[in-house]
Amino acid sequence: MPSGGPSPPSLAPETVIPLRDDRRGHAVPLVTGALIVICVLVFLWESSLGRDELRQVIYAYGLIPAVLFRGVGVSPDIVLSPEAVVILTSMFLHADLLHLGGNVLYLWIFGNNVEDAMGRFRFTLFYLLCGAIGALAYGLFDPRSTVPMIGASGAIAGVLGAYLLLYPYARVLIFLPFGIFSRVIRLPAFWVLWFWFIFQLMSLTLSEGQQGGVAWIAHVGGFLAGMVLIPVFKHRDVPLLQPRHGSRRWYRKLER
């Protein structure tokens, strides 16, 4: 089952796993929760399909660069969706439980405060736009590729880029998965998110191509889009580069 993003960047062995941040939002993150629910429900539907049916779904609703930019056809037994549709639908498909879990984890931890800074309607547009930019970045990177890209990673990368400019000094509790040296520590958000972004750039540079692998370029494109768009989408009274906010009590509680 080929896909542009079968492994989530958030759970790659070389990177970090966030557990929680110390930001407290003012409103219930309904859009963030709804996006997570939709992704989970779509994945459950995918899991109910047979192998051939699932292949048809991924090729029909995933973004295929060669089809989008060059008009190249694929197997005649596959019914393709319109280009504008797949840019949207590809964000809600996932290759496996690890792919879904990593994306949902990052969205839940970082999405609620970004939604709070924008409001629900703006956050919805922002999320979809970052996802579209990430998907288009993947397609433009290799317009001849016939590998469909699926997953919410590009959109969530945009959320991370926005969070970096909004709350760089927030503390994030993270798990470092380094075997016997694994540990839980807290770091400022700017260290966590810059490390994540640099890891994406390094992986993109070192990878020989995207065929059958992680769509690193979609993560990079979505992250940069989030940084560029956040000044436009945030509420006027919400400043960038906010100082640290919140209590350390929950860190102590989790570390016991």
For residue range 46-78, what is the model confidence (pLDDT) as tens digits? 999 999 999 999 988 999 888 887 666 555 555
Whether the CA torsion 69, 71, 75, 78 is positive or negative: it is positive
Kindly state the percentage of the chain with pLDDT values over 90.
Answer: 61
Q: Could you tell me the domains of the chain?
A: 9-255 (1.20.1540.10)
Say if residue 99's pLDDT is above 70: yes
Say if residue 19's pLDDT is above 60: yes
What integer is the mean pLDDT of 109-133?
97
Reported confidence tier of residue 128, pLDDT bands at 50, 70, 90:
very high
* Dihedral (Cα; 245, 249, 254, 256), 10-degree rounding: 150
Q: Return the higher-pLDDT residue of 198 and 180.
A: 198
pLDDT on residue 190: 96
pLDDT on residue 145: 85
pLDDT on residue 71: 62
User: Tokens 């540079």 — which residue?
Assistant: 205
CB atoms within 10 A of CB 238: 14
Structure tokens at 183: 């540990």
**H/E run at residue 175:** strand 171-176
Concatenating the DSSP letter of every residue in 45-110 gives HHHTS-HHHHHHHHHHHSB-HHHHHH-----TT-PPPPHHHHHHHGGG--SSHHHHHHHHHHHHHH
Q: Return the higher-pLDDT residue of 77 and 177.
A: 177
Please answer whether residues 171 and 153 qualify as being in contact, where contact means their C-beta atoms are separated by less than 8 angstroms.
Answer: no
What value does the mean pLDDT of the chain take? 84
pLDDT on residue 77: 55
Instruction: Specify the range with the lowest mean pLDDT, choosing from 29-33, 62-66, 161-165.
Output: 62-66
What integer is the mean pLDDT of 126-143?
93
Type of residue at 249: R
Reported confidence tier of residue 14, pLDDT bands at 50, 70, 90:
very low
pLDDT on residue 21: 95
Say if residue 116's pLDDT is above 50: yes
CB atoms within 10 A of CB 3: 24
For the chain, the helix, strand and coil percentages under 3-state DSSP, each to the nearest 5: 60, 5, 35
What integer is the mean pLDDT of 223-229?
98
SS3 state of residue 232:
helix
What integer is the mean pLDDT of 144-158?
91
pLDDT on residue 13: 38
Reported confidence tier of residue 208, pLDDT bands at 50, 70, 90:
low
Type of residue at 101: G
Closest CA to 114 of 153, 154, 158: 158
- Between CA 185 and CA 159 the distance in angstroms is 22
pLDDT on residue 111: 97
pLDDT on residue 79: 56
Structure tokens at 110: 């970082």
pLDDT on residue 72: 63
**H/E run at residue 172:** strand 171-176
- Between CA 89 and CA 28 the distance in angstroms is 26
